[in-house]
Structure 1
Amino acid sequence: MTIKVIFQVLVFVLVLAMFTTHQAWGEGDCDRQKKSVLIKCRKTVELGTDYVRPNRKCCDAVKTSDMVCICLALSLDDEYHVSVVKLVDAAEECGNPVPAGNKCGSKNLVLFVLFFPKRNSVVLLCS
């Protein structure tokens, strides 16, 4: 009888541990992805220059990255070198857009379809 109780408690603890561990895994660290995208898309997202269409290496990095996570991971220091507007445009052009309503660096993305019906244009508003 005691072995049955111990076994039930053990199973309960294991199941509980699985759920708590899963929550800890829920938020991934995308620092490597951010560095990869910023390096491979440097000419596209560089602050203070004209927008240059993303090349294949840039788009490959963008397509395989979690752009929402990268946007959340952008620091104010990153924003001294990277144009958030260009990063969002590159993500959209490469087929991995950042959905409206998300935060990208210090900016909030708001869908602005009313004035730009042909394109899913995004306007950046300071938060």
Structure 2
Amino acid sequence: MNTKVFIQPLVYASVFALLALPQALGEQDCHEDKVKFLEKCSWHIVPGFPYARPSPSNSCCKAVRKFDMTCICRIITHQDNADGHYVYRVSVDCNNPVPPGNKCGDWSIPGPPPPHNLQL
């Protein structure tokens, strides 16, 4: 038999396995949540404006508390007309903060400050 007959299905199976790997490893797809987040909270995350606006609306916070904000932060970009730092601030203001060490868009969430060693 022709070797090509055996290699071609093997190549297709390998490509499929590579594409399915993130799903198999449990990586969440939160694209729909990101779209809903952008609909509910767009006023608070637009780049170029100061964040010091009124607190996020009830509908925005209600949505934020339902979503995996770490996942949303991982996939949000400036193309979404969103400032990553502001997205993080909304997550904090709505009591669903993204943990330190993650990125929110292109903004890295800093860790907590080191403890102070006070000598008495």
TM norm. shorter chain > 0.5: yes
2:42 counterpart residue number: 42
1:82 counterpart residue number: 82
Q: Give the root-mean-square deviation of aligned CA atoms.
A: 2.3
- CA deviations over 1:69-103 (Å, ceiling 9, x no partner): 0011113422xx21111111110010000100011
1:70 counterpart residue number: 72
Identity, in percent, stands at 36
The answer (yes or no) to whether the contact 2:87–2:104 under 8 Å persists in 1 is: no
Secondary structure at 2:47 match in 1: coil
Secondary structure at 1:41 match in 2: helix
Query: 5+ residue gaps in structure 1?
Result: 1-20, 115-127
- Aligned equivalents of 2:107, 2:48: Cα separation in 1: 18
Query: 5+ residue gaps in structure 2?
Result: 1-20, 115-120
The answer (yes or no) to whether the contact 2:65–2:96 under 8 Å persists in 1 is: yes
- CA deviations over 1:11-33 (Å, ceiling 9, x no partner): xxxxxxxxxx9x61611110011
Q: Which amino acid aligns with 1:58?
A: C
- Aligned equivalents of 1:47, 1:107: Cα separation in 2: 12
2:107 counterpart residue number: 107
1:59 counterpart residue number: 61
The answer (yes or no) to whether the contact 2:33–2:67 under 8 Å persists in 1 is: yes
Higher RCO (Cα < 8 Å, 6 or more apart): 2
Figure out how many residues of one structure are paired with residues of the other and give that number: 93
Return the offset for 1:112.
4.5
Return the offset for 1:48.
1.7
After TM superposition, the score normalised by the length of structure 2 is 0.68
Change (3 A) 1:91 1:74: same
- CA deviations over 1:93-127 (Å, ceiling 9, x no partner): 1000010001111222112446xxxxxxxxxxxxx
Change (3 A) 1:101 1:48: same
